[in-house]
Amino acid sequence: MRWVELPDWAPPGPGRQASLFVEQKLVLVFHVDGRLHAIEDGCPHGGASFFGVPCEGGHLRCPAHGMRFDLQTGSAQGSPEFRLRTLGLAQQQGVWHLGWPGPKSDATGSA
Ligand code: FES
């Protein structure tokens, strides 16, 4: 995982969501049941945006064709070949970092 520092960023409160641009990509962060989930925006089926889509029971329903995705695993219900691009989130020394799948960097030591 490659980690990118998010200076001055604070996560959304419980039950809320936030968006941010990182490396020219829209990232959505959901605070669900005490856990933070980050995804790169874009449905793996056809690319529709999840911006503003409410999280329901830890799931997101795509506004384009209705596929339902588990925020924890990224998998689509009934179609596991379609997966959201889930990202890592970690806080180190008071600064949040976003983890992109890929080669490891030295920004943080763990996923
Ligand atoms: S674009 Fe999301 S289900 Fe088709």
Domain assignment present for residue 33? The answer is yes
Domain assignment present for residue 106? The answer is no
Whether residue 28 contacts residue 39, with contact meaning beta carbons closer than 8 Å, is answered with: yes
Domain assignment present for residue 109? The answer is no
CB of residue 59 inside a 6 A radius of ligand 1:
no
Domain assignment present for residue 108? The answer is no
Domain assignment present for residue 94? The answer is yes
In this structure, the residue with its CA closest to atom 1 of ligand 1 is: 46
Kindly state the tokens that stand for 73: 């695993």
CB of residue 60 inside a 6 A radius of ligand 1:
no
Beta strands in 1-111 (DSSP E): 2-6, 17-22, 25-32, 35-40, 59-61, 68-70, 75-76, 79-83, 85-92, 95-100
Q: pLDDT per residue over 16-40, tens digit each? A: 999 999 999 999 999 999 999 999 9
CB of residue 53 inside a 6 A radius of ligand 1:
no
Residue 47 belongs to domain with CATH number: 2.102.10.10
Question: Which range of residues forms the domain containing residue 91?
Answer: 2-100
Domain assignment present for residue 105? The answer is no
Q: pLDDT per residue over 56-101, tens digit each? A: 999 999 999 999 999 999 999 999 999 999 999 999 999 999 999 8
